[in-house]
Structure 1
Amino acid sequence: MKSTSRALKRLSICSSIVLGLFAASVQAAPVQLNIVDVAGDLALTQKALENFQKENPDLVSRITFTKAPAPQIPGKIQAMQRAKRVDIDLVLTGSDALAAGIEQGLWLKLLPDLQEQLPGVMENYTPNAAAMQELAHGQALLVVIGNAGPMIEYNPAKVKDVPKTPDELLKWCQANPGKFIYARPANSGPGRAFLMGLPYLLGDKDPKDPVNGWEKTWAYLKQLNDCIPYYPGGTGAVMKELGDGSRDMTATSAGWDINPRALGIVPEDFKVQPFTNTTWVDDAHYMAIPKGVSEEKQKVLIKLLNYMLEKKQQAMTYDSGYHFPGPAVKGVTLADAPAESQEVLKKYGRAEYDKWLTEFPHVLPLDAAVMVKAFQKWDTEIGALK
């Protein structure tokens, strides 16, 4: 009996060891990553993300990419978290969905909690990128920066007297109803820059307080609303209508000027004009990990975040000018970009940007909680009028 007992004990120990080794092997298996883009960021980063998988087949078996409207993703993630089944591993977002996610507590805290696993992140950012990174409150990492606005983009064959002030834009719009549009700010970089840039242009009491400090801005947008037919759900739809001649003018930004012309969506000869004495509202894209993603995947994702901030991958974000300029880390220039990116920017970029982007001051977008209030107020008091 004693020998039988000892044999059973040895068998139990051996079984535990085997199960432990099996569990370890399962845990070490490559993972599949599900990445959702709500900012058009894949135009800049998809190739680098795919390269990470190719270079690390032991970590990642496959990456799936999905695109979604920014306003939809916070509610979707919140529902997954309540169900304790999060199947979105990484979100590529602008400041819109980032802000909503911060407000709702959706994102995993990266800094300073995981600082040791993300060495040198803040030190490697350019000064503008480091400032924009502060808006993430440590809950995401900035991956590209640029795309300053607001500006006016127009068809030079139709618009001869180009508005240079908000008042001139309003008068032009009233004289040409239906020919100027902009997209819903909660899902559009240029729409967001237009909304947040107006308080500076109009001399509002407090450009950082959309609820109590934007009296002139809200009054202006209500007047402008009378000559705007509707508000598209995203900038892509705006550019298609501008390109096909349905509209003659829109609010734009540097990247949304360059990229649609490079892609042939907007004619090459269309022009842009900044407002007189404008203030640039900078924009950025971020990488955010939803709370509830498994620890196994978190470890892989942290390595992915580090990879995406290396100079080689950052140089690829020049792309076709979509988020001009793109790179967020120090020491990356257009000369480091792929040859096709250099060719596109040489042909479709504008020499004026060097002057304009240094001539006028730059400001950060609204902070997360305040930006959400601005979107809600616009949706209720402006967007709801259509």
Structure 2
Amino acid sequence: MKSTVSRLAVAISLLASGASFASNVETINLYSGGSDNVKSTWDKVIQDFEKSHPNIKVNLEFLPSGTGGMVGADRLIASHKAGRSSGIDILEVNQSELNNILSQAGTKALVKMDEASIPNLKNVIADNAGSKGYSVPYRGTTVVLAYNQEDVKNVPTTSAELYEWIKENPQRFGYCEPGTGGACDSFLVSSVYNQLPTEAMTSSDEKWSKQWSQGFELLEELHPFMYQTANRIHYPFKNQGALDLLAIGEIDMTPMWADMVLDQKSRGLIPDTIAITQLEPAFTGSLVSIAIPQDSTKQGAAKQFVDYVVSAQAQNLFVKEQKAIPVIANSELDEDVVNSLSGLEVSEYRTYSLGNLENQLKRQWANKIAVLSK
């Protein structure tokens, strides 16, 4: 009888300790979205984080591209205006989404972060000035010039050289229709804004739209030399459309996201002869950041996750799994990881933030350049 009572007591004790441990585990909600490789990378990063932080569980709420639904930034803004909790503990944002949050919900909607609360922030070299401390960049991506090195022997090094190459090699260059792919948006923005003062690249002031004429004259001048199909100038659909043309030899050169080229090349989806280079001035890139909503009741755990995400351990994962450009110096990364980056470093490319001007720019391209193909 005593033996039975003793075993029962031990069992109750173990159950109690297990319940106590479970009650000490905090679950934080991470809101993100995008393509499948973004989700699969987050899954691996979260798994790695939870191994070293057994008291924190990360629940990934992921919205795939093109599926509709309310993105995390919109959810936060709507919840803030309604005075209710968003249910978000960590939010992935691009610069445009961050600007929307700060303009529509104000700085009180987000937690301000610094090195005191995020120690690994001291190693971040990506330009974070635009965030005003309300988000932390965790990965970068940039548009580069992708080309077939079997066919292109004199690779342009400047934008001026690229424009000359396009004219000297009719139909061997192409870029997708702006608005269908970010790489081609970058080509449009760079072509127009290379003619303007540097500060215009990060301004939503309407005055700059009155100075776009020189850039559009350049694009109109280049139009007859673009890729053709069925005897008509053709701007392919989406980034992948342009990359596919490069892969099958229909064109020799196109602006493209660096991570797309590196990822597809590593998986054998495009020929090994496809190489990348950056021009001077560089094509634009973008930083993807994470922020902590002020209404989160688990800010301590959220800050631990943010700190981990910008650690060398996590940055190695983002490069290996997603071919992202790290936000810390390449010297902090594993040697094999650095070798896979083809020399790209986040401190060497430009970002842009045009606000509503970006949509106006795309509409003007449609009205001035796309119509030339008809």
Q: Distance in 1 between matches of 2:297 and 2:218?
A: 51
Pairwise CA distance, 1:305: 0.5
The 1:237–1:119 alpha-carbon spacing in structure 2 relative to 1, beyond 3 Å, is: same
1:334 matched to which residue of 2? 334
Pairwise CA distance, 1:308: 1.3
Structure 1 length normalisation: TM-score?
0.66
Code of the residue aligned with 1:137 in structure 2: it is K
Pairwise CA distance, 1:136: 1.5
Q: Work out whether 1:379 is the aligned partner of 2:370.
A: no
Q: Work out whether 1:181 is the aligned partner of 2:172.
A: no
Residue 199 of structure 2 aligns to a residue whose secondary structure is: coil
Which residue, out of 227, 236, 239, partners 2:243? Answer: 239
1:52 matched to which residue of 2? 49
Pairwise CA distance, 1:296: 2.2
Pairwise CA distance, 1:261: 0.9
Contact residue 146 and residue 277 of structure 2 kept, 8 A: yes
1:12 matched to which residue of 2? none
Q: Distance in 2 between matches of 1:91 and 1:172?
A: 47
Q: Distance in 2 between matches of 1:25 and 1:61?
A: 16
The 1:249–1:279 alpha-carbon spacing in structure 2 relative to 1, beyond 3 Å, is: closer
1:139 matched to which residue of 2? 134
1:356-377: per-residue Cα shift (whole Å, max 9, x none)? x79xx946423x4xx2244122
Pairwise CA distance, 1:381: 0.9
1:249-295: per-residue Cα shift (whole Å, max 9, x none)? 320254343222112232111133544x434645432113456xx43
Contact residue 28 and residue 59 of structure 2 kept, 8 A: yes
The 1:57–1:91 alpha-carbon spacing in structure 2 relative to 1, beyond 3 Å, is: same
Contact residue 155 and residue 270 of structure 1 kept, 8 A: yes
Q: Distance in 2 between matches of 1:46 and 1:219?
A: 46
Contact residue 284 and residue 351 of structure 2 kept, 8 A: yes
Say how many residue pairs are matched.
328
Q: Work out whether 1:194 is the aligned partner of 2:187.
A: yes
Q: Distance in 1 between matches of 2:177 and 2:98?
A: 18
Q: Work out whether 1:271 is the aligned partner of 2:255.
A: no
Residue 142 of structure 1 aligns to a residue whose secondary structure is: strand
Contact residue 49 and residue 308 of structure 1 kept, 8 A: no
2:65 matched to which residue of 1? 68
Q: Work out whether 1:206 is the aligned partner of 2:206.
A: no
1:16-38: per-residue Cα shift (whole Å, max 9, x none)? xxxxxxxx999966325243134
Contact residue 308 and residue 314 of structure 2 kept, 8 A: yes
Q: Distance in 1 between matches of 2:171 and 2:196?
A: 30
Contact residue 50 and residue 63 of structure 1 kept, 8 A: no
Which residue, out of 12, 20, 31, partners 1:35? Answer: 31
Within a 5 Å distance, the mapping from 1:343-382 to structure 2 comes to 345=340, 350=342, 353=343, 362=348, 364-366=350-352, 368=353, 371-382=354-365
Contact residue 70 and residue 96 of structure 1 kept, 8 A: no
The 1:245–1:320 alpha-carbon spacing in structure 2 relative to 1, beyond 3 Å, is: farther
Q: Distance in 2 between matches of 1:109 and 1:42?
A: 24
The 1:300–1:26 alpha-carbon spacing in structure 2 relative to 1, beyond 3 Å, is: same
Structure 2 length normalisation: TM-score?
0.68
Q: Distance in 1 between matches of 2:289 and 2:355?
A: 17
Within a 5 Å distance, the mapping from 1:188-337 to structure 2 comes to 188=182, 190-199=183-192, 204-209=195-200, 210-224=208-222, 227=226, 229-230=234-235, 232-233=237-238, 235-244=239-248, 248-275=252-279, 277-279=280-282, 281=284, 283-290=286-293, 294-319=295-320, 322-324=323-325, 326-328=326-328, 332-335=332-335
The 1:139–1:383 alpha-carbon spacing in structure 2 relative to 1, beyond 3 Å, is: farther
Residue 306 of structure 1 aligns to a residue whose secondary structure is: helix
Deviates further, 315-324 or 153-162: 153-162
Contact residue 137 and residue 327 of structure 2 kept, 8 A: no
Contact residue 153 and residue 250 of structure 1 kept, 8 A: yes
Q: Distance in 1 between matches of 2:102 and 2:184?
A: 21
Pairwise CA distance, 1:302: 1.8
2:146 matched to which residue of 1? 153
Q: Distance in 2 between matches of 1:169 and 1:103?
A: 42
Code of the residue aligned with 1:322 in structure 2: it is K
The 1:186–1:76 alpha-carbon spacing in structure 2 relative to 1, beyond 3 Å, is: farther
The 1:271–1:116 alpha-carbon spacing in structure 2 relative to 1, beyond 3 Å, is: closer
Task: Mark the runs of 5 or more structure 1 residues left unpaired by the alignment.
Answer: 1-23
Contact residue 125 and residue 330 of structure 1 kept, 8 A: no
Residue 295 of structure 1 aligns to a residue whose secondary structure is: coil
Code of the residue aligned with 1:198 in structure 2: it is S
Pairwise CA distance, 1:185: 6.3
Residue 36 of structure 1 aligns to a residue whose secondary structure is: strand
Code of the residue aligned with 2:256 in structure 1: it is T
Q: Work out whether 1:168 is the aligned partner of 2:164.
A: yes
Pairwise CA distance, 1:304: 0.9
Code of the residue aligned with 1:217 in structure 2: it is G
